[in-house]
Structure formats: C-alpha cells, structure tokens
Amino acid sequence: MRIVVKVGTHAIAKASGRPDYAALRRLVAELSELSRAGHELVFVSSGAVAAGVEALGLKSRPKDVNAVQMCAAVGQARFIYEYEKLFAAHGVKIGQILLTHYDFEDHRRAQNVRKTIERLVRDSIIPIVNENDVVADEELKGRSFGDNDWLSFLIAKLVRADKLVLLTTVDGLLDAEGRRIPRVDSFRNIARLVRSGEKGSLSKGGMDSKLKAVKSAVAAGIDTYIANGRRKVLPAIVSGSSGTGTFFPGSAL
C-alpha cells in the first residue's frame, strides 16, 4: 500500500519550537514499522521554520517573509539531522525533497519529482518532503501550501497514493460539541457541523486548510484521514479501524 503521511508543526514541536523528542520518536517508530511491513511511505513533515524560530531565540514565527526564510534556512539542517538519527535507529534510510508550487505547475518538473519519489519508495527509502521555505515566495502571492496540507494532497495525487493521512493535535474532525466525527461521506453543509479550531503561532495551517486538502484528495479517489499525531494511530488507520481519527472515503461528494 502506498501511503502519504503528513504531520503538522504542533504535533512534533513544543510551544517554543524546540522539537518534542517523545512525539518524534513515537511517530518515527510507527513509520518505520509500516515501512518494514512493506508499505511504500512518503512522509510530509512541517517543522523546519519552527526549529529555526527556536534556534534563533525568537518568541514566535515571524510575519516578514524574509525572516521566515531565514528561520527555514537555520531550522532545516536541525530538522533533517534529527530525522536521520531517529530513522537510522530503526535501520530505515531517508531522503529529503524540498518543493514549491512551481515544481507542480511545470509538467516536466512534476514528473521528475514523481520519478524520484518512485525510486526512493521502491528501494524502501522514506522521502521526507517539506515546502522549500528558503526560496518560496508563495506567501507573498497568497498561495501558501498551508503548513503542508495542500502539499501533501499534491504529492498524494502525483504518486497515486492509496491513503493520505493528515496528523494534527486533535483526534480528528470535531463536531460543535468537540466530539470526534468517525466518518464523513459528504461535504454538504460540513461547515455547519464542525468546529474549525485555531492554528498555532508556529504554523500556518488549521482545520480549514486540512479540509481544503481533504476535499481535493477524496475527489481524486484517495482515502483520506485526519487524526491525532500525538497518539499511536497509524497502525489502526492502515488496518481500516474506525476507532481513531476521521475517515473520508475516496470520491466522497
């Protein structure tokens, strides 16, 4: 099974931006277990800018685009170094792919991305994908990937993934009373049924960003999930259990 897993900043970082090593170790262990079981994984991970915020001693994510790019440049090295150590402890190799909107808008570049990912997963190497915040100017044009939610959909569609999993800090899509909605088969009137929630100071996503990605993913026929990345949820999701997260079946209308 080919699975794209995306984790948001707050699921793997503390409020300061410092990596949450307990959360990282748990998530890496889950991904490594799935890889050893023969699943083809693509891991879309936020967190580089947050790591830079912490490393530079800033109180919050900057609003200035060039300052964000500075944080990304500083944080990206720390970000991938930690992942390399954690996955190596499980005998799993990783590769890094940094992308912008232009890599999807140009057909030749998009196909090069697809072929690279195909080769990595075929050799049981987990690609770790992130927006290339150092050079991206999408925020200036109002075209941000939204804490990598939209990027994860584009990747899932490009590589024809079977499942897309969006990991956040809540147990899935919540209704107005804060209760988890196990399954969504229709997007009609969904805005009146759910609580959107707030994005954090270290990220640029939120539930609205996720729902936009989910709607496009299921329209492309990809089974999609929103689940809590601070819990062990991936084995249950892969097995098809309804006891965790919110499931959006592919082609739901």
Q: Please check whether residue 212 lies inside any domain of the structure.
A: yes
Q: Please check whether residue 253 lies inside any domain of the structure.
A: no
The structural domain count of the chain equals 1
Domain span at residue 196 reads 2-248
In contact, 12 and 169? CB cutoff 8 Å? no
Can you give the CATH number for the domain in which 38 is found? 3.40.1160.10
Using CA atoms, how far residue 123 sits from 44, 69, 129, 136, in Å, is 18, 32, 17, 29
In this prediction, residues 56-71 reach a mean pLDDT of 87
Residue 194: pLDDT band by 50, 70, 90 thresholds?
A: low
CA distance 206 to 249: 21
The larger pLDDT score, comparing residue 252 to residue 157, is at: 157
pTM metric for this prediction: 0.89
Q: What's the pLDDT tens digit per position in 12-45?
A: 887 766 778 899 999 999 999 999 999 999 999 9
Which amino acid makes up residue 214?
A: V
Q: What's the pLDDT tens digit per position in 153-167?
A: 999 999 999 999 999
